[in-house]
Amino acid sequence: MTAAVLPRPVPRRPEWLAPAGLIALSLVPIVAGAFRVTSLAVGEDVTAANARFFDSPAPVVVHIVGSTVFLVLGALQFAPSLRRRRWHRIAGRVAAPAGLLSALSALWMTLFYTMPAVNGPGLYVMRLVFGTAMAAGIVVAVVAIRRGDVRTHSAWMTRAYAIGLGAGTQVFTFLPWTLALGEPGQTMHSVLMGAGWVINLLIAEIVIARRTRRGGSPAGRPRRIAGAARLS
């Protein structure tokens, strides 16, 4: 008689690896935003590059604060242990409005700030498209969770977060080009900016697809929360 061979347990990835990585990626725009707010507060010298912020500081301050809150709380929502607790819903009630403020203020700045010459028409259009998509994604996610549709809520919040995190990824699309070839021209500047958003959205779709497979929900039947609608 031979002893039964038990299957070896599959090692699980530490649950805080993803949130920590997202927060680390968020530090780039967060630190840059903190410097911008500090410069506005202390009143540094006004130049052609920063005059628009001094002329109308409210939108950029709202954008920086909203983005910081959205990126940090959004990263923590990827921790499974927090998603199973009431904290997830409380943080979501703060993160969703913060993300909406971030997206709407970005649209305002695109429309009404005088942008540097390197920001060409292509980037102008992309800012409008991705800013609108981020705001719309958050609205769709909120409406979905109020209906109890967890799958749709999770998918659209993930997409909105991916767009909001674009500034972090754009550092890594610009860095190799700048080190090898110097400052990009207007067209390449737009391409590298767009690449950051596209890369994040591709990764978001992979995450959404894997999450759906693990959830085991039948295709076409979104998972729902019974009872009162909740915002998470």
Query: Mind giving me the DSSP string for 44-77?
Result: PPP-TTTHHHHHSHHHHHHHHHHHHHHHHHHHHT
Tally of CB atoms within 10 A around 170:
20
The per-residue pLDDT for range 173-218, each reduced to its tens digit, is 999 999 999 999 999 999 999 999 999 999 999 999 998 888 644 3
229 pLDDT more than 70: no
Average pLDDT over residues 83-98: 89
* Residue 6 three-state SS: coil
Average pLDDT over residues 115-143: 95
pLDDT for residue 5: 52
The per-residue pLDDT for range 19-68, each reduced to its tens digit, is 999 999 999 999 999 999 999 988 788 887 788 898 999 999 999 999 99
- What percentage of the chain carries pLDDT values higher than 70? 86
Average pLDDT over residues 139-144: 97
231 pLDDT more than 60: no
pLDDT for residue 219: 39
pLDDT for residue 221: 43
Average pLDDT over residues 61-80: 94
- Kindly give, in sequence order, each residue whose CB lies less than 8 Å from that of residue 149, ignoring residues fewer than 6 positions away: 222, 223, 224
- The more confidently predicted of residues 86 and 136 is 136
pLDDT for residue 78: 87
- The more confidently predicted of residues 107 and 8 is 107
- The more confidently predicted of residues 1 and 219 is 1
CA distances from residue 208 to 62, 102, 158, 205 in whole angstroms, order as listed: 29, 23, 8, 5
Residue 95 CA to residue 105 CA, distance in Å, equals 15
Q: Structure pTM?
A: 0.85
